[in-house]
Amino acid sequence: MGEQVDDRLGMLMLLANLPSHPDSVPINLWNEVKGVPVNDTAERPDPIGLVRLVATARIMMPQSVVRLSAGRQYMTDELQAMCFLAGANSIFIGDVLLTTKNPQRDRDADLLDRLGITSRLA
């Protein structure tokens, strides 16, 4: 733990250069999990950097689903909206994503409605 921006870009390069692009590319925001050691020098991605990462993933892997994943409960609605505009096209909806919480379903439904995005679950 303790990835830097170059580490994230390197992972996108690795995924984009596979023989076929992955079906899903999860993009995570910094998300502290109790008991998981983290490098003290870890760089928390700034919001604009996260949006750029989403846009880069979309450009490099146009057929992949770019998912806003762990840490989304710490994202503002505005940050999530910018990520959708940059190319994210999926979120996990529900109470728990593996070891971390997701935003409440009502908050997600309100955000998607305000953005004019229709859920496949709707």
pLDDT score of 112 = 86
Higher pLDDT: 40 or 117? It is 117
pTM of the model: 0.80
pLDDT score of 109 = 83
Tokens representing 10?
A: 């390197």
Structural domains of the chain, with CATH: 5-115 (3.40.50)
pLDDT in tens, 43-68: 566 889 899 999 999 999 999 999 98
pLDDT in tens, 10-56: 899 999 999 999 999 988 876 666 666 665 555 566 889 899 999 99
37: left (phi over 0), alpha (psi -120 to 50) or beta: beta
Q: Which of these, 94, 117, 22, lies nearest to 12 by C-alpha position?
A: 22
pLDDT in tens, 59-93: 999 999 999 887 787 888 999 999 999 999 988 77
